[in-house]
Amino acid sequence: MTTHPAARSVRTTPEGLMWEPSERWVRGRKGDVTVVDSRHPVLVWEPHLPVPQYAFPRADVRTDLLHPAAHPPTGTHTGSQIFYDLHASGEPVVNAAWTFPADDLAGHIAFEWFRRWDSGLDHWYEEEEEIFVHPRDPHKRVDAMASSRHVQVGIGGTLVADTVRPVLLFETSLPTRYYIPRDDVRLDLFEPTDHRTACPYKGRARYWTWRGEGDVPRNVLWSYPDPLPAVAVVQELFAFYNEAVDITVDGRGEERPVTPFTASLTS
């Protein structure tokens, strides 16, 4: 009996990689050039990264645009790899692609994506939807749900938000984020910044910084002006980093969590 690909479990390699096949149609472009066009990508998790990345069958990659890297890096990915510079559109992209050493992934090529905001390929698509930052993890959920909980947010003893109509965003491995209507946030106590981020699950966010005194990280408040359809309910609502403010839900104070974002939250 043939097992459907979607039913396969995540596999591991002696090098410490985890991987599984994906049925999504994935394309990557540099300028006007399609560099990757694959209906048989593989999702790969490296031990030191919290998110997956794609590797593609060599036949689905424009290998004629790849040349052995002039200055390959060391220690950036699991195992010993062969790196390639990409010559597609404009200036060459150094170390844009590489191969994993695992036998299971022989014949596959991966491209820099995660944490490479200004390098690598310009655009990635799953089916007809553009994907930002990194591939979506099929083992992770992001659910935004309207609620009537009483949520209050304080900074240094000042009440900066108070609502009974939040939207709660539940994201696997992260604390609940409380999205609050504009009218229920003391936005006059914050000023907008030029900081921007992108999320493959939610879209592009803009940020605000606390105007007052105290040891408060910059960009502690954010909003999604045009979120992705799956979380459209958070549009133009505001959320705070639980890691840096005091949040009370239904009269009970919540502990500040320690998350992957904690280290980056500096005042």
Structural domains counted in the chain: 2
- Residues 120, 231, single domain; the answer is no
Same domain, 170 and 119: no
Is 137 inside a domain boundary? no
In whole angstroms, what is the distance from residue 266 CA to residue 51 CA?
23
How far is it, in rounded angstroms, from Cα 156 to Cα 214?
7
Residue 176 covered by a domain = yes
Does residue 111 sit in the same domain as residue 171? no
DSSP string over 105-152 = GTTEEEE--TT-TTSS-SEEEETTEEE-SSPPPTT--EEEEE----EE
Residue 172 lies in a domain: yes
Q: Within a domain: residue 40?
A: yes
Amino acid code (one letter) for 79: G
Q: What integer pLDDT is reported at residue 77 of this predicted model?
A: 84
Domain identity same for 120 and 161: no
- 202 and 241, same structural domain? yes
Kindly state whether residues 90 and 197 are assigned to the same domain. Answer: no
Q: Locate 83 and state its tokens.
A: 């790196």
Boundaries of domain holding 91: 5-131
Residue 136 lies in a domain: no
| Same domain for 125 and 148 | no
Is there a single domain that holds both residue 13 and residue 123? Answer: yes
Query: In terms of domains, do 127 and 18 share one?
Result: yes
Indicate the residue among 94, 111, 131 that finishes a domain: 131
Same domain, 198 and 172: yes
In tens digits, the chain (267 residues) has pLDDT values of 444 444 457 888 888 899 999 999 999 999 899 999 999 999 999 988 888 999 999 999 999 999 999 998 887 888 768 999 999 877 889 999 999 988 989 999 999 875 555 567 889 999 998 888 889 999 999 999 999 999 999 999 999 999 999 999 999 989 999 999 999 999 999 999 999 998 999 999 999 999 998 889 999 999 999 999 999 999 999 999 999 999 999 999 999 998 888 877 764
* Among 131, 162, 184, residue at a domain's last position: 131
Which residue do the tokens 């994993």 mark? Answer: 100
**Is residue 258 helix, strand or coil?**
coil
Return the pLDDT at 2. 47
φ, ψ of residue 51 to 5 degrees: the values are -130, 160
Kindly report the CATH number assigned to the domain that includes residue 204. 2.170.150.40
Looking at the fold, whether 149 and 233 belong to one and the same domain comes out as yes
Shared domain for 25 and 117, answered yes or no, is yes
Q: What is the pTM of this model?
A: 0.82
Determine, yes or no, domain membership for 182: yes
